A and B are shown apart, each in its own frame.
Chain A
C-alpha cells in the first residue's frame, strides 16, 4: 500500500492560516505596531485591553489568530528554504523546526489566553 502523505493536511493548515493572516493581521499590526506607538490614535487603556481580551469570543479569535498563521508560516517557510535556498540535506531538521515551532506557539497561545 502506498504510504499516506500528510501533505494535504499540512496544506489545508497553510491555506486557512494564510486566509486568517490576510484578513486580520494588517489592521492589527497597523494599529498596535504603528498608530498607537506613534501617537496617531489613542491607545486603549490597560483595563480596557484586558477586558477586551478576556471576552470569550476574543479569546477564541486570538487563539485562532496565533495558531493557524503559525502553521501557515511553518509550511511556507519550509518550502522557501527548500526551493529558494535549495537547502535539501537539512530537510528533517527544517520540518521539525517549522512545524514544531508552530506547535509550541499554539500551546503558548492556549496557555496565555487561558490565564490572561
Chain B
C-alpha cells in the first residue's frame, strides 16, 4: 500500500445486536448443537476413567479390585449412563456429518449422503463387535 488510508474522524459505530448468553435455549436446533458440543466432556471423562483404570491395573490386583468396586457405586453408574448417552450422541452426529465433510463425486455426480454415512455405521458396528470379542473371549 502506497497511499495512506483515508482517515475518517467520525468512525461509524457498527450495529451489533447483543446476543444473550443463553441464546441456545431458544430453539431445539440450537440446543441440539450445544448438546453435541458438550459431548466432548463425556469423551474427556472416558479418557480420565481409562487413565485411572490403567493406574489401578498397574497398582496390582487389590487396587484394580478397589477400582472395580468404585465402578459399582450409584454415582459411577449414573455418570456412566449419562456419558454413554452423550458418547452415542457424538458418534451418531459424527457419522451423519461425514457426508458433509467429504463430498465425493463419481463421474461428475455427487455420491449420495447415505452411501457415505452407511459404510461408517457398518464399520462402527464391526469395530465394536471385534473389540467386544477381544475383551470377552475366554
CA–CA, A5 and B27, complex, Å: 33
Tell me the B28-82 residues at the A interface (CB within 8 Å): 34, 37-41, 43-44, 46-51, 53-55, 57-58, 61, 64-65, 68, 71-72, 76-77, 80-81
CA–CA, A33 and B34, complex, Å: 25
Chain B residue contacts of A15, Cβ below 8 A: 101
Q: How big is the B interface, by class?
A: 35 or more
The answer to whether B43 and A34 have CB atoms under 8 Å apart is no
**Chain A-chain B contacts (Cβ-Cβ < 8 Å), number:** 146
B24 on interface, CB distance cutoff 8 Å: yes
The answer to whether B57 and A50 have CB atoms under 8 Å apart is yes
User: Separation in Å of the A74 CB from the closest CB of chain B?
Assistant: 8
Q: Which of B77, B80, B134 has most A Cβ within 10 Å?
A: B80
How many chain A residues have a CB neighbour from B under 8 Å? 53
Tell me the A24-79 residues at the B interface (CB within 8 Å): 24-34, 36-38, 41, 43-44, 46, 48-50, 52-53, 62, 65-66, 69-70, 72-73, 76-77, 79
User: Separation in Å of the B30 CB from the closest CB of chain A?
Assistant: 9
B34, B58, B61: the one within 8 Å of A116 (CB): B58
Known contacts: A21-B90, A86-B19. The answer to whether A49 contacts B57 by CB under 8 A is yes
The answer to whether B64 and A46 have CB atoms under 8 Å apart is yes
B132 on interface, CB distance cutoff 8 Å: yes
Chain B residue contacts of A79, Cβ below 8 A: 37
Chain B residue contacts of A105, Cβ below 8 A: 47-48, 51
The answer to whether B84 and A65 have CB atoms under 8 Å apart is no
Chain B residue contacts of A109, Cβ below 8 A: 47, 50-51, 54
Q: Which of B7-15, B106-114, B122-130 contacts A (4 or more CB under 8 A)?
A: B122-130
Q: Which residues of B contact A (CB under 8 A)?
A: 19, 21, 24, 34, 37-41, 43-44, 46-51, 53-55, 57-58, 61, 64-65, 68, 71-72, 76-77, 80-81, 83-84, 87-88, 90-91, 94-95, 101, 123-124, 127-128, 131-132, 134-136, 138
Not counting A18-B90, A62-B50, a sample of 18 additional A-B residue pairs whose C-beta atoms are within 8 angstroms of each other reads: A18-B94, A21-B90, A23-B128, A27-B131, A29-B80, A31-B135, A44-B135, A44-B136, A46-B57, A49-B57, A52-B134, A53-B54, A69-B47, A73-B47, A80-B37, A83-B37, A105-B48, A109-B47
